[in-house]
Chain A
Amino acid sequence: MSATPSREAAIPRQSAGWSATLSHARHVIGENPVTGFSFGLLALLIFLAMFGPLLAPFDPLASDTAAALQAPTARHLFGTDQLGRDIFSRVIVATRLDMAIAIFSVALVFVVGGLAGIAAGFFGGWTDRIVGRIGDTIMAFPLFVLAMGIVAALGNTVTNIIIATAIINFPLYARIARTEASIRRDAGYVMAARLTGNSDLRIALTTIMPNILPLMMVQMSLTMGYAILNAAGLSFIGLGVRPPTPEWGIMVAEGAGSIISGEWWIALFPGLALMVAVFCFNLIGDGLRDIVDPSRRT
Chain B
Amino acid sequence: MSAVPLLDISGLTVEFATRRGVVTAIQRVDISVAKGETVGIVGESGSGKSVTSYAVMRILDRAGRVAEGSIAFSGLDLTHAPESELRDLRGREMSMIFQNPRAALNPIRKVGHQIEDVLRQHARAGSGDAREKAIEALLQVRIQRPEERYDAYPFELSGGMCQRVVIALALACRPELLIADEPTTGLDVTTQKAVMDLLVDLTRDRGMSTILITHDLGLAAAYCDKVIVMEKGRVVETAAARDIFTRPAHPYTRKLMRATPRPGITLRDLLPEGEASPLPPPTSGDKTPLLKVENLVKEYPRPDQRNPIARFMPGGKAGAPGPFRAVDGISFEVARGESVGLVGESGCGKSTTSMMVMRLLDKTSGQIMFNGQDIGALAARDFARHPLRSKIQMVFQDPTDSLNPRYTAARAIMDPLYRLGGQSSSGTARARCEELARLVGLPADLLDRFPHQLSGGQKARVGIARAIALEPELVILDEPTAALDVSVQAVVLNLLADLKSTLGMSYLFVSHDLHVVQLLCDRVIVMNGGRIIEEGAASDVLERPQADYTRQLISAIPHPPV
Interface set of A (CB-CB < 8 Å, partner B): 1, 3-9, 12-13, 15-20, 27, 31, 187-189, 191-200, 207, 210-211
Instruction: Decide yes or no: A195 and B393 within 8 Å by CB, A5-B25, A188-B398 being known contacts.
Output: yes
Which stretch of B108-116, B274-282, B341-349, B382-390 is in the interface? B382-390
* Listed A/B pairs (17) with beta-carbon separation below 8 Å: A1-B181, A3-B51, A3-B61, A4-B61, A4-B64, A5-B23, A15-B451, A17-B408, A189-B403, A192-B403, A194-B384, A196-B416, A196-B420, A198-B384, A199-B385, A211-B405, A211-B406
> What is the minimal beta-carbon distance from A184 to any residue of chain B, in angstroms?
10
Taking CB atoms and an 8 Å cut-off, the chain B residues in 463-519 that contact chain A are: 463, 466-467, 469-470
Contact: B360 with A194, CB < 8 Å?
yes
Taking CB atoms and an 8 Å cut-off, the chain B residues in 410-469 that contact chain A are: 412, 415-416, 419-420, 450-453, 463, 466-467, 469
Residue total for B at the interface (Cβ-Cβ under 8 A): 54
Which stretch of B14-22, B36-44, B203-211, B235-243 is in the interface? B14-22
* B residues less than 8 Å from A197 (CB atoms): 384-385, 389-390, 416, 419-420
The 4 closest A-B pairs by CB, nearest first: A188-B402, A15-B405, A196-B416, A12-B452
Contact: A4 with B16, CB < 8 Å?
yes
B222 within 8 A of A: no
Contact: A1 with B182, CB < 8 Å?
yes
Instruction: Decide yes or no: A9 and B450 within 8 Å by CB, A4-B64, A192-B402, A197-B420 being known contacts.
Output: no
* B residues less than 8 Å from A15 (CB atoms): 400, 405, 451-452
Contact: B401 with A6, CB < 8 Å?
no
* B residues less than 8 Å from A16 (CB atoms): 405, 450, 452
* B residues less than 8 Å from A207 (CB atoms): 404
Contact: B401 with A13, CB < 8 Å?
no
Contact: B406 with A17, CB < 8 Å?
yes
* B residues less than 8 Å from A192 (CB atoms): 394, 396, 402-404, 412, 463, 466
Contact: B401 with A5, CB < 8 Å?
no
B60 within 8 A of A: yes
* A residues less than 8 Å from B562 (CB atoms): none
B404 touches which of A1, A4, A12, A211 (Cβ 8 Å): A211
Contact: A20 with B452, CB < 8 Å?
yes
Tell me the dominant secondary structure on chain A's binding face. Answer: helix
* A residues less than 8 Å from B407 (CB atoms): 189
B27 within 8 A of A: no
Instruction: Kindly state the separation between the CA atoms of A193 and B384 in the bound complex, as whole angstroms.
Output: 9
A198 touches which of B54, B419, B451 (Cβ 8 Å): B419
Instruction: Kindly state the separation between the CA atoms of A4 and B385 in the bound complex, as whole angstroms.
Output: 45
B381 within 8 A of A: yes
Question: Which of B20, B54, B398, B402 counts the most A-chain CB atoms under 10 A from its CB?
Answer: B402
B50 within 8 A of A: yes
Contact: A195 with B389, CB < 8 Å?
yes
B63 within 8 A of A: yes
B358 within 8 A of A: yes
Instruction: Kindly state the separation between the CA atoms of A7 and B17 in the bound complex, as whole angstroms.
Output: 11
Taking CB atoms and an 8 Å cut-off, the chain B residues in 60-77 that contact chain A are: 60-61, 63-64
Contact: A196 with B402, CB < 8 Å?
no
Given contacts A191-B394, A197-B416, 13 further A-B contacts (CB under 8 A): A1-B182, A3-B50, A4-B18, A6-B18, A6-B23, A16-B405, A16-B450, A195-B392, A196-B416, A197-B389, A197-B420, A198-B384, A199-B385
Interface set of B (CB-CB < 8 Å, partner A): 16-20, 23, 25, 46, 50-51, 54, 60-61, 63-64, 99, 181-182, 358, 360, 381, 384-385, 389-390, 392-394, 396-398, 400-408, 412, 415-416, 419-420, 450-453, 463, 466-467, 469-470
A-B contact count (CB 8 A): 118
Instruction: Kindly state the separation between the CA atoms of A44 and B467 in the bound complex, as whole angstroms.
Output: 52
Contact: B54 with A3, CB < 8 Å?
yes
A193 touches which of B181, B404, B469 (Cβ 8 Å): B404
Minimal Cβ-Cβ distance residue in B for A203: B384
> What is the minimal beta-carbon distance from A213 to any residue of chain B, in angstroms?
9
> What is the minimal beta-carbon distance from B270 to any residue of chain A, in angstroms?
25
* B residues less than 8 Å from A3 (CB atoms): 25, 50-51, 54, 60-61, 64
* A residues less than 8 Å from B466 (CB atoms): 192, 196
Contact: A199 with B450, CB < 8 Å?
no
Minimal Cβ-Cβ distance residue in B for A208: B404
Instruction: Kindly state the separation between the CA atoms of A12 and B390 in the bound complex, as whole angstroms.
Output: 30
Instruction: Kindly state the separation between the CA atoms of A153 and B538 in the bound complex, as whole angstroms.
Output: 74
Instruction: Kindly state the separation between the CA atoms of A128 and B56 in the bound complex, as whole angstroms.
Output: 50
Instruction: Decide yes or no: A191 and B396 within 8 Å by CB, A5-B23, A6-B19, A211-B404 being known contacts.
Output: yes
Instruction: Decide yes or no: A20 and B419 within 8 Å by CB, A195-B393, A200-B384 being known contacts.
Output: no
* A residues less than 8 Å from B60 (CB atoms): 3
> What is the minimal beta-carbon distance from A22 to any residue of chain B, in angstroms?
12
* B residues less than 8 Å from A189 (CB atoms): 401-405, 407, 412
Contact: A196 with B419, CB < 8 Å?
yes
Instruction: Kindly state the separation between the CA atoms of A188 and B412 in the bound complex, as whole angstroms.
Output: 12
> What is the minimal beta-carbon distance from B537 to any residue of chain A, in angstroms?
30
* B residues less than 8 Å from A9 (CB atoms): 18, 20
* B residues less than 8 Å from A31 (CB atoms): 19
Minimal Cβ-Cβ distance residue in B for A188: B402
Instruction: Kindly state the separation between the CA atoms of A142 and B385 in the bound complex, as whole angstroms.
Output: 46
Instruction: Kindly state the separation between the CA atoms of A7 and B400 in the bound complex, as whole angstroms.
Output: 17
Instruction: Decide yes or no: A18 and B406 within 8 Å by CB, A197-B389, A198-B419 being known contacts.
Output: yes
Question: Which of A15, A31, A196, A210 counts the most B-chain CB atoms under 10 A from its CB?
Answer: A196
Minimal Cβ-Cβ distance residue in A for B405: A15
* B residues less than 8 Å from A12 (CB atoms): 400, 451-452
Contact: A17 with B401, CB < 8 Å?
no
B18 touches which of A1, A5, A199 (Cβ 8 Å): A5
Contact: B16 with A5, CB < 8 Å?
yes
* B residues less than 8 Å from A199 (CB atoms): 384-385
> What is the minimal beta-carbon distance from A32 to any residue of chain B, in angstroms?
11
Instruction: Kindly state the separation between the CA atoms of A3 and B389 in the bound complex, as whole angstroms.
Output: 43
Contact: A4 with B402, CB < 8 Å?
no
Instruction: Kindly state the separation between the CA atoms of A31 and B16 in the bound complex, as whole angstroms.
Output: 19
> What is the minimal beta-carbon distance from A36 to any residue of chain B, in angstroms?
17
* A residues less than 8 Å from B419 (CB atoms): 196-198
Question: Which of B404, B412, B420, B466 counts the most A-chain CB atoms under 10 A from its CB?
Answer: B404
A4 touches which of B63, B381, B470 (Cβ 8 Å): B63
Instruction: Kindly state the separation between the CA atoms of A12 and B403 in the bound complex, as whole angstroms.
Output: 12
* A residues less than 8 Å from B420 (CB atoms): 196-197
* B residues less than 8 Å from A191 (CB atoms): 360, 394, 396, 402
Instruction: Decide yes or no: A20 and B389 within 8 Å by CB, A197-B419, A211-B404 being known contacts.
Output: no
* A residues less than 8 Å from B392 (CB atoms): 195
Contact: A188 with B397, CB < 8 Å?
yes
Contact: B99 with A1, CB < 8 Å?
yes
Instruction: Decide yes or no: A193 and B406 within 8 Å by CB, A199-B384, A199-B385, A200-B381 being known contacts.
Output: no
